[in-house]
Structure 1
């Protein structure tokens, strides 16, 4: 039986212009693309592969929010 789930992912734009997605609930689950539309497709595929092929279990994290922290370097 399949369960439908909604999984949080973190999307960023790198200095090279690529969009990069990582999935905190699946450590090591990352993908990249040149557009956000393609990134969404690839993220879904990466999640499915991590669960099905690698047998990874979802870590049950509760999404709280995103913060920006200012520092001086």
Structure 2
């Protein structure tokens, strides 16, 4: 499965990654590469927990256009 993730750096220089289609699926690390590896593991764990609890695996996401 492929998931879109966001990658951002916080005010302390820590890389924060999030999977918007899975509520609460967030990770971080000191390097961007490690943060990306961490979010992969977080996604897997989030999917497992959601499946065990009978929660929908993901929420619907879309891209929309907004006039500037």
Deviation at 1:59, TM superposition (A): 1.7
- Name segments (4+ residues, structure 1) moved above 3 Å: none
Question: Which consecutive residues of structure 2, in runs of 5 or more, have no partner in the other structure?
Answer: none
The alignment's C-alpha RMSD in Å is 1.9
- Is 1:9 aligned with 2:8? no
The structure with the greater share of residues assigned to helix is: 2
What is the aligned counterpart of 2:38 among 42, 51, 66? 42
TM-score between the two structures when normalised by the length of structure 1: 0.73
The 3-state SS of whatever aligns with 1:15 is coil
How many aligned positions are there?
61
TM-score between the two structures when normalised by the length of structure 2: 0.78
Quote the Cα distance in structure 1 between the aligned partners of 2:48 and 2:42: 10
Matches within 5 A, 1:1-73: 5-55=1-51, 56=55, 57-62=57-62, 64=63
Question: Which consecutive residues of structure 1, in runs of 5 or more, have no partner in the other structure?
Answer: none
Quote the Cα distance in structure 2 between the aligned partners of 1:17 and 1:28: 21
